[in-house]
Structures are given as structure tokens and as C-alpha cells.
Amino acid sequence: MSKAKTATDKATATAEYAIANGAEAFKAGFDKAIKNYDLVLGYGKDTAEAVMKSATVAGKGVETLNGELYAYSKQSLEDSITATKAIMGSKSLHEAFEYQSDFAKSAFESYIGEMTKFGELFTATTKDSFAPLQGRVEAWLDVVQTAKA
């Protein structure tokens, strides 16, 4: 009977050891999961803020581009009306041709200048819009590396 008691005691000790270690392992795993959940949650919050900031900057950029386009269109129309009045009021065909040539030259130069300005504004808006999002990939890699540890 003593052999049976020793085997029972061994089995009991092994079971108690397994339960104690299992509880500790479960607690450690649970704590790690909560910590990682908090990291992922924080990453999600930071990413949402970055997206909102990016959208705000993009919206302001589009508003600026729209204002510039409106101002250019208005000025272009006014210049066209002025040129048309000058051409219609000319006293000779040669004078009308000079007015038309001057208008075409100034309109082309104005167009090139405005397109350059639009390109610069668009580039700046795009760059500024993506700036808040640039660090999000590195932040995600940090979250993954921290979760692995």
C-alpha cells in the first residue's frame, strides 16, 4: 500500500505543480495580451488622429487651390474682356493685330505662371497631407516588435 500511496502523492504533487505553473503561465499570457491590446489600441488611436490631421491639411490645400483657380479664372476673363474692347476699338487692322498679339502673349505667360503655381501648391498640399501618415508604418513595426518580445 505504501507504493500506491507514494504514487498517489507523486501524482498529486505533479498535478498541483502543473496547476500552479499553468495558472502562472495563464496570468503571464493574459497580462501580455492586455499589454499588446493596449499597444494596438494606442496605435489605432494615433493612426486615426494622423488620418484626421492629414484630411484636414488636404482639405485646406484643396480650398487654397480652389481659391487660386477662381482668382485666375476671374482675372483671365477680365483680361479677355479688356483685350476684346481694345481690339474692337482699334482704328486699323494692324493695330487690332498688335492688340491681339500682345493679349495672346500675356495670356500665355499668365497661364504658364499660374500652372507653375498650381503645380507647386499641389505638390506642397500632397507633401503636407502625407506628413502625418509617414510615421505610422514605423509605429506599426514597433508595435509588432514589442508584441513579439
Residue 3: which pLDDT band, with cuts at 50, 70 and 90?
low
Cα–Cα distances (Å) from 60 to 3, 87, 129, in that order, read 84, 40, 10
The per-residue pLDDT for 19 is 75
Are the C-beta atoms of residues 54 and 132 closer than 8 Å to each other? yes
Mean pLDDT of the chain: 86
Is the pLDDT at 149 greater than 80? The verdict is: no
Note the pLDDT tens digit of each residue in 117-144. Answer: 999 999 999 999 988 888 887 888 887 7
Kindly state the cell numbers that stand for 93: 487692322
pTM over 0.75: no
Please give the residue that has the higher pLDDT: either 17 or 131: 131
Cα within 13 Å of Cα(84), Cβ side: 6
Please give the residue that has the higher pLDDT: either 9 or 123: 123
Kindly state the cell numbers that stand for 36: 499588446
The per-residue pLDDT for 27 is 77
Candidates 11, 31, 35; CA nearest to 147 is 35
